[in-house]
Amino acid sequence: MDSPDYCELNSNMTLDYINRILMEEDTDEKASIHQQHDALQATEKPFYDILGQAYPSSPKKTVINSDSQVDCPGDSSNDYRNRVCSGSFVSDLLGPQGMHLIATDWASELDKLTLQFNRGAEEAKKLVPNIEKLVVDPESNGISVSKQTTKETVGQKSKHANKIKNHPCVDLELLEARNSKHSAISTNETIRDEMFDSVLLNNGHLYHDIAHLREMKAKEANNSPQNFLSKGYDQGHEKSRDKKQQKEAVDLRDLLIQCAQALASNNRPFASELLKKIRHHSSPYGDDYQRLAVYFADALEARLAGTGSQMYQKLMGKRTSARDMLKAYRLFIAACPFVVGAYYFSNKTIVDVLEGRPRVHIVDFGIMFGFQWPLLIQRFAKREGGPPKLRITGINVPQPGFRPCKMIEETGKRLAEYAEMFNVPFQYRGIASRWENIGVEDLDIDKDEVLIINCMSGMKNLGDETEDIDSARDRVLRIMERMKPEVLILGDVNGLYSSPFFLPRFREVLFHYSSLFDMLNATVPPSHEARILIERYLLGTDALNVVACEGAERIERPESYKQWQVRSLKAGFKQLPVNQEILNRSIDGKKKLYHEDFVISEDSGWLLQGWKGRIIYALSSWKPEKPYTNK
């Protein structure tokens, strides 16, 4: 029964099960079968005894030839293939009667079922996706798609490929099973319209939005209960207000820390009681602490239930449209100077390095929606002597769902439209891959171009030394150094919540996000739709990952800017000083436009941005210690 012929005999049932997995009719069955493995072995052993054969110590798998094998990185898919061809898997599908029928009548069916198996294997081969490299060339008035697979992406093995399944943006089952359905998916989402132009080209909307936020906050202050009470309004409801104030007097941060301590000591009943109390006093529409408590309570509850990874995967799978993200982006740049300052730092650095040269190639690690680049394209169009020929390579991890390259595709189309609008020669290439698996040869580097590497925030999501001694973030920095750019521009979230120990990590992430929620509370009205979007889908999702996930499933791992400085120097870069013009203009812009509690300063070659003394974001520029030499 443990022969390959036996596995082939039962391939019809196996393929039926695989089909149901791929069509998502019963995705939970695989997990339940795995959990019942011991019970199934006990069930099938009597049938081996009936047939007079010894029960095998370990099931053998079917070896599929390299031309038809679905080759998935990671051990989980191999375990699945082993179990597909094991006796326990088949006996579970067929039951005792089916097993008896097979044992007595298998020879007459062998040829037909083998043919079905081979046909199914050929179909399975088609399910392996090719991550597309997109080349957008406005001169050809369209997008050409190269069906090449980026080195070390999904479907290929490497030294570190067994870790790809742990990345939140790579859902291997979805990538493999749904790739054949990509052609059936259509989208009517707007790539670019007047709203995109208004926000991304900064046509005066920023000053209007900032003034509007101030006006709304002023109205909110005038309409506050304390203001009404000071003016003698509605004295009859003073008792109800006192009750409300008592409810709000609870120290939610202290309750959250107590709950984390209870979880750390495995006092689950007390943690559950504290969560009920936190829920009672929190609200997604309240003040900063009440709103913060909602998302941290979600994270603690997920940790208590052991569902942190599943919840995070679901949140990441719910893609926010570019239009909704634009609304959040518009509010964020009106509420705080972090993004505006980062993009100004980067674009000004690029313009200065270019110095009138005719060709520039920007490799953007973590390009996302590409909101940074329309303003630079517009600026290039106004350059004396004409615009340079611009080439952008955008790198993102594959997205979960039906179209892993959708965001990269739409970003390329949008940027191509802006380049066409401003008559800037433009070429775009999108690469869907984990950053540490990118090779220099994948990037088509031309030494006649000015090469710029831009990385504004994604480094915090790379693995550190708790995953691998040779960490992914160090490997990426070494890859960047081998590219020999004219300048590397880094933007880093300054955080200390990367500890492998839960309690110190929880305290630090709580204080970090308290600053962000306090910042939004001071600058944005509580009912603003985009504020809720920012807090729920950006801040709340990241906090959930830090609190509820462990090991390789925890991908939010920011470090301090001084730690990144050490890493960059070790990788072979030397730091460039902060451009004083950039620093002075950033400080002036903050004073004129933004809240007085924002902080912009300089330290050790970094331009720092923060809120009430806490540094949130740090910017720097680097160049290789050993420049490229064409031997």
428 and 368 belong to one structural domain: yes
Distances (CA, A) of 169 to 315, 398, 578: 10, 6, 34
Return the C-alpha torsion angle 440, 444, 445, 446, nearest 10: 160
User: pLDDT band for position 8 (50/70/90)?
Assistant: very low
Cα–Cα nearest to 357, from 420, 444, 448, 453: 448
Beta strand 573-576 with 614-624: parallel, antiparallel or unpaired? Answer: antiparallel
CB 356 within 8 A of CB 385: yes
Angle at alpha carbon of residue 61, lines to 57 and 62, rounded to 5°: 150
440 and 576 belong to one structural domain: yes
94 and 162 belong to one structural domain: no
Does residue 255 lie in a domain region? no
Domain boundary among 90, 125, 160: 125
377 and 426 belong to one structural domain: yes
Domain boundary among 125, 154, 183: 125
111 and 172 belong to one structural domain: no
Does residue 242 lie in a domain region? no
List the alpha helices (DSSP H) in 358-460: 373-381, 406-421
406-421 and 373-381 helices cross at what angle (nearest 10)? 20
Domain boundary among 73, 100, 125: 125
484 and 612 belong to one structural domain: yes
In angstroms and rounded to an integer, the radius of gyration of the C-alpha atoms of the chain is 28
pLDDT of 320: 73
pLDDT digits (tens, 9 = 90+) for 447-488: 999 999 999 989 999 999 988 899 999 999 999 999 999 999
User: pLDDT band for position 626 (50/70/90)?
Assistant: confident
Cβ-in-10-Å burial (0-12, 13-18, 19+) of 308 comes to buried
DSSP annotation of 211: H
pLDDT of 629: 60
486 and 579 belong to one structural domain: yes
Does pTM surpass 0.75?
A: no
What is the number of helices (H) and of strands (E) in the chain?
Answer: 26, 11
Tokens matching residue 358: 């005719």
CB 471 within 8 A of CB 465: yes
Does residue 513 lie in a domain region? no
185 and 40 belong to one structural domain: no
- Rounded to whole angstroms, the Cα distance separating 83 from 126 reads 22
User: pLDDT band for position 289 (50/70/90)?
Assistant: very high
CB 611 within 8 A of CB 599: yes
Does residue 317 lie in a domain region? no
Cβ partners under 8 Å of residue 417, min gap 6? 191, 192
Q: In this structure, how many other beta carbons lie within 10 angstroms of the beta carbon of residue 351? A: 16
CATH number at residue 402: 3.40.50.150
Q: Is the pLDDT of residue 129 over 50?
A: no
pLDDT of 318: 76
DSSP annotation of 363: E
Does residue 572 lie in a domain region? yes
Does residue 454 lie in a domain region? yes
Does residue 153 lie in a domain region? yes
User: pLDDT band for position 322 (50/70/90)?
Assistant: confident
46 and 120 belong to one structural domain: yes
pLDDT of 9: 39
Does residue 218 lie in a domain region? no
SS (H, E, C) 292-360: HHHHHHHHHHHHHHCCHHHHHHHHHHCCCCHHHHHHHHHHHHHHCCHHHHHHHHHHHHHHHHHCCCCEE
Angle at alpha carbon of residue 578, lines to 573 and 579, rounded to 5°: 125
39 and 151 belong to one structural domain: no
335 and 474 belong to one structural domain: yes
Worst-scoring range by mean pLDDT, 194-208, 354-368, 446-460? 194-208
- Rounded to whole angstroms, the Cα distance separating 40 from 43 reads 5
- Tell how far CA 419 is from the center of its chain: 27
User: pLDDT band for position 53 (50/70/90)?
Assistant: low
- Tell how far CA 490 is from the center of its chain: 18
User: pLDDT band for position 353 (50/70/90)?
Assistant: very high
Worst-scoring range by mean pLDDT, 23-32, 52-61, 139-148? 139-148
pLDDT of 423: 96
Cα–Cα nearest to 69, from 120, 111, 27: 120
pLDDT of 259: 97
Cα–Cα nearest to 428, from 343, 369, 349, 363: 363
29 and 170 belong to one structural domain: no
Task: Select, from the ranges 149-158, 203-212, 328-337, the one with the highest average predicted confidence (pLDDT).
Answer: 328-337
- Give residue 48's domain range: 4-125
Determine the average pLDDT of the residues in 542-560: 95
Distances (CA, A) of 172 to 17, 21, 77, 510, 559: 18, 13, 9, 32, 28
Q: How many domains does the chain have?
A: 2
Q: Is the pLDDT of residue 114 over 80?
A: no
- Give the SS3 label for residue 131: coil
- Tell how far CA 587 is from the center of its chain: 31
Tokens matching residue 72: 């998935």
List the alpha helices (DSSP H) in 23-170: 29-35, 37-51, 75-84, 87-105, 110-125
- Tell how far CA 417 is from the center of its chain: 26
Determine the average pLDDT of the residues in 559-573: 96
What is the widest separation between alpha-carbon atoms in the chain?
94
